[in-house]
Structure 1
Amino acid sequence: MTEWHTWDEVSVELGDVLGSAEERAQRVEQLRRGLVLRRLVEQRKRAGLRQVDVAERMGVSKARVSHIEHGAVATIELLARYLDAIGGRLEITAAFDGGIERVVLDWPAA
Protein backbone atom coordinates (compact mmCIF):
# COMPACT_ATOMS: atom_id res chain seq x y z
CA MET A 1 0.00 0.00 0.00
CA THR A 2 1.23 3.50 -0.83
CA GLU A 3 2.23 5.60 2.14
CA TRP A 4 1.32 9.27 1.81
CA HIS A 5 3.41 12.05 3.29
CA THR A 6 2.58 15.64 4.03
CA TRP A 7 4.36 18.41 2.17
CA ASP A 8 6.13 19.35 5.41
CA GLU A 9 7.55 15.82 5.71
CA VAL A 10 8.69 15.78 2.09
CA SER A 11 10.14 19.27 2.45
CA VAL A 12 12.21 18.23 5.47
CA GLU A 13 13.52 15.16 3.63
CA LEU A 14 14.40 17.22 0.55
CA GLY A 15 16.10 19.79 2.75
CA ASP A 16 18.26 17.06 4.23
CA VAL A 17 19.26 15.88 0.75
CA LEU A 18 19.57 19.22 -1.04
CA GLY A 19 20.84 21.37 1.81
CA SER A 20 19.69 24.81 2.86
CA ALA A 21 18.60 27.48 0.40
CA GLU A 22 21.96 29.18 0.94
CA GLU A 23 23.88 25.97 0.21
CA ARG A 24 21.84 25.38 -2.95
CA ALA A 25 22.47 28.97 -4.08
CA GLN A 26 26.21 28.50 -3.51
CA ARG A 27 26.21 25.31 -5.59
CA VAL A 28 24.31 27.04 -8.40
CA GLU A 29 26.83 29.92 -8.35
CA GLN A 30 29.75 27.46 -8.48
CA LEU A 31 28.17 25.73 -11.47
CA ARG A 32 27.59 29.05 -13.22
CA ARG A 33 31.19 30.11 -12.70
CA GLY A 34 32.39 26.74 -13.94
CA LEU A 35 30.36 27.16 -17.12
CA VAL A 36 31.80 30.63 -17.70
CA LEU A 37 35.34 29.31 -17.25
CA ARG A 38 34.68 26.42 -19.63
CA ARG A 39 33.41 28.85 -22.23
CA LEU A 40 36.61 30.89 -21.93
CA VAL A 41 38.73 27.78 -22.43
CA GLU A 42 36.59 26.77 -25.42
CA GLN A 43 37.02 30.24 -26.90
CA ARG A 44 40.80 30.03 -26.46
CA LYS A 45 40.84 26.68 -28.22
CA ARG A 46 38.60 27.95 -31.04
CA ALA A 47 41.13 30.74 -31.53
CA GLY A 48 43.76 28.03 -32.00
CA LEU A 49 45.67 29.13 -28.91
CA ARG A 50 47.42 27.00 -26.32
CA GLN A 51 47.88 28.13 -22.74
CA VAL A 52 51.54 28.83 -23.51
CA ASP A 53 50.50 31.10 -26.41
CA VAL A 54 48.17 33.07 -24.15
CA ALA A 55 50.88 33.26 -21.48
CA GLU A 56 53.32 34.76 -23.98
CA ARG A 57 50.76 37.34 -25.10
CA MET A 58 50.01 38.27 -21.49
CA GLY A 59 53.60 38.21 -20.28
CA VAL A 60 52.83 35.66 -17.57
CA SER A 61 53.63 32.00 -16.98
CA LYS A 62 51.64 29.13 -18.45
CA ALA A 63 50.82 28.14 -14.87
CA ARG A 64 49.22 31.56 -14.32
CA VAL A 65 47.01 31.05 -17.39
CA SER A 66 46.00 27.66 -16.01
CA HIS A 67 45.11 29.29 -12.69
CA ILE A 68 42.98 31.88 -14.48
CA GLU A 69 41.16 29.16 -16.40
CA HIS A 70 40.44 27.40 -13.12
CA GLY A 71 38.93 30.49 -11.51
CA ALA A 72 41.91 32.03 -9.71
CA VAL A 73 41.61 35.55 -11.12
CA ALA A 74 43.10 38.07 -8.69
CA THR A 75 42.10 41.28 -10.47
CA ILE A 76 39.77 42.61 -13.13
CA GLU A 77 42.86 43.86 -14.97
CA LEU A 78 44.24 40.31 -15.16
CA LEU A 79 40.95 39.02 -16.56
CA ALA A 80 40.92 41.86 -19.11
CA ARG A 81 44.45 40.91 -20.19
CA TYR A 82 43.45 37.25 -20.54
CA LEU A 83 40.43 38.14 -22.65
CA ASP A 84 42.52 40.44 -24.82
CA ALA A 85 45.04 37.63 -25.35
CA ILE A 86 42.32 35.29 -26.66
CA GLY A 87 40.72 37.96 -28.84
CA GLY A 88 38.01 39.26 -26.53
CA ARG A 89 37.38 42.21 -24.28
CA LEU A 90 35.94 42.68 -20.84
CA GLU A 91 32.67 44.56 -20.46
CA ILE A 92 31.26 45.30 -17.04
CA THR A 93 27.63 46.18 -16.50
CA ALA A 94 26.49 47.71 -13.22
CA ALA A 95 22.75 47.89 -12.57
CA PHE A 96 21.34 50.67 -10.39
CA ASP A 97 17.81 51.74 -9.53
CA GLY A 98 18.23 54.65 -11.94
CA GLY A 99 19.50 52.53 -14.83
CA ILE A 100 22.43 50.54 -16.10
CA GLU A 101 26.02 51.67 -16.50
CA ARG A 102 28.15 49.78 -19.01
CA VAL A 103 31.93 50.00 -18.91
CA VAL A 104 34.32 48.54 -21.49
CA LEU A 105 37.90 48.06 -20.36
CA ASP A 106 40.48 48.54 -23.08
CA TRP A 107 43.67 46.63 -22.41
CA PRO A 108 46.29 47.68 -22.84
CA ALA A 109 45.12 51.18 -22.06
CA ALA A 110 45.23 53.46 -25.10
Structure 2
Amino acid sequence: MQAKKLGWTDLNLSIIGAGTWAIGGSGWKYSWGPQDDRESISTIRHALEKKINWIDTAPVYGLGHSEEVVGQAIKEQRNKPIVATKCGRVWDKDGSISGCLKK
Protein backbone atom coordinates (compact mmCIF):
# COMPACT_ATOMS: atom_id res chain seq x y z
CA MET A 1 0.00 0.00 0.00
CA GLN A 2 1.38 3.36 -0.98
CA ALA A 3 1.75 5.91 1.84
CA LYS A 4 2.24 9.67 1.85
CA LYS A 5 3.52 12.08 4.45
CA LEU A 6 0.75 14.08 6.12
CA GLY A 7 1.58 17.76 5.70
CA TRP A 8 4.44 18.87 7.95
CA THR A 9 4.01 15.98 10.39
CA ASP A 10 6.05 12.82 10.77
CA LEU A 11 2.97 10.73 9.96
CA ASN A 12 2.99 8.57 6.86
CA LEU A 13 -0.58 7.62 6.01
CA SER A 14 -1.68 4.98 3.57
CA ILE A 15 -3.42 6.60 0.60
CA ILE A 16 -6.53 4.62 1.53
CA GLY A 17 -8.03 4.67 5.01
CA ALA A 18 -10.72 2.58 6.67
CA GLY A 19 -14.00 4.39 7.33
CA THR A 20 -16.14 2.99 10.14
CA TRP A 21 -19.51 4.76 10.05
CA ALA A 22 -21.35 1.59 9.04
CA ILE A 23 -19.61 -0.40 11.80
CA GLY A 24 -21.55 1.68 14.33
CA GLY A 25 -24.51 -0.57 13.60
CA SER A 26 -28.11 0.16 14.43
CA GLY A 27 -29.63 1.70 17.50
CA TRP A 28 -29.95 5.28 16.42
CA LYS A 29 -31.76 7.37 13.84
CA TYR A 30 -28.96 7.70 11.24
CA SER A 31 -27.51 4.20 11.39
CA TRP A 32 -26.64 1.89 8.54
CA GLY A 33 -28.63 -0.88 10.19
CA PRO A 34 -27.51 -3.97 12.06
CA GLN A 35 -23.87 -5.02 11.66
CA ASP A 36 -21.99 -8.07 12.86
CA ASP A 37 -19.22 -6.91 15.22
CA ARG A 38 -17.11 -10.01 14.55
CA GLU A 39 -17.27 -9.32 10.82
CA SER A 40 -16.42 -5.66 11.41
CA ILE A 41 -13.38 -6.59 13.53
CA SER A 42 -12.27 -9.05 10.87
CA THR A 43 -12.64 -6.38 8.19
CA ILE A 44 -10.54 -3.87 10.13
CA ARG A 45 -7.83 -6.47 10.72
CA HIS A 46 -7.86 -7.40 7.03
CA ALA A 47 -7.39 -3.73 6.14
CA LEU A 48 -4.40 -3.56 8.50
CA GLU A 49 -2.92 -6.68 6.90
CA LYS A 50 -3.18 -4.88 3.55
CA LYS A 51 -1.12 -2.03 5.05
CA ILE A 52 -3.98 0.43 5.50
CA ASN A 53 -2.64 2.30 8.51
CA TRP A 54 -5.33 4.78 9.45
CA ILE A 55 -8.91 4.39 10.61
CA ASP A 56 -11.59 7.08 10.63
CA THR A 57 -14.21 6.88 13.37
CA ALA A 58 -16.37 9.17 15.52
CA PRO A 59 -18.55 9.06 18.62
CA VAL A 60 -21.56 9.72 16.40
CA TYR A 61 -21.00 6.45 14.47
CA GLY A 62 -23.42 4.23 16.37
CA LEU A 63 -23.29 6.49 19.43
CA GLY A 64 -19.74 5.37 20.19
CA HIS A 65 -20.13 1.75 19.14
CA SER A 66 -17.83 2.19 16.14
CA GLU A 67 -15.04 3.43 18.43
CA GLU A 68 -15.55 0.41 20.70
CA VAL A 69 -15.33 -2.00 17.76
CA VAL A 70 -12.20 -0.26 16.42
CA GLY A 71 -10.64 -0.60 19.88
CA GLN A 72 -11.41 -4.31 19.97
CA ALA A 73 -9.96 -4.79 16.49
CA ILE A 74 -6.64 -3.06 17.18
CA LYS A 75 -6.00 -3.85 20.86
CA GLU A 76 -3.70 -6.79 20.15
CA GLN A 77 -2.16 -5.49 16.93
CA ARG A 78 1.61 -5.15 16.98
CA ASN A 79 1.67 -2.11 14.68
CA LYS A 80 -1.01 0.27 15.87
CA PRO A 81 -2.79 2.26 13.17
CA ILE A 82 -3.49 5.96 13.36
CA VAL A 83 -7.04 6.43 14.59
CA ALA A 84 -8.74 9.66 13.60
CA THR A 85 -11.85 10.48 15.59
CA LYS A 86 -13.93 13.58 16.04
CA CYS A 87 -15.22 15.55 18.98
CA GLY A 88 -17.89 18.10 19.57
CA ARG A 89 -21.54 17.47 20.10
CA VAL A 90 -22.95 14.71 22.24
CA TRP A 91 -25.70 12.75 20.52
CA ASP A 92 -28.53 11.13 22.43
CA LYS A 93 -29.84 7.69 21.54
CA ASP A 94 -32.98 9.26 20.03
CA GLY A 95 -30.83 11.07 17.45
CA SER A 96 -31.11 14.56 18.92
CA ILE A 97 -28.27 16.78 20.02
CA SER A 98 -28.34 17.56 23.75
CA GLY A 99 -26.91 21.06 23.35
CA CYS A 100 -29.68 22.13 20.98
CA LEU A 101 -32.35 21.07 23.43
CA LYS A 102 -30.94 23.31 26.17
CA LYS A 103 -31.19 26.57 24.19
Question: What band does the TM-score fall into relative to the shorter chain?
Answer: under 0.3
TM-score, normalised by the number of residues in structure 2: 0.26
**RCO (CA 8 Å, sep 6+): is it higher in 1 or 2?**
2
Over alpha carbons, which structure has the higher Rg?
1
TM-score, normalised by the number of residues in structure 1: 0.25
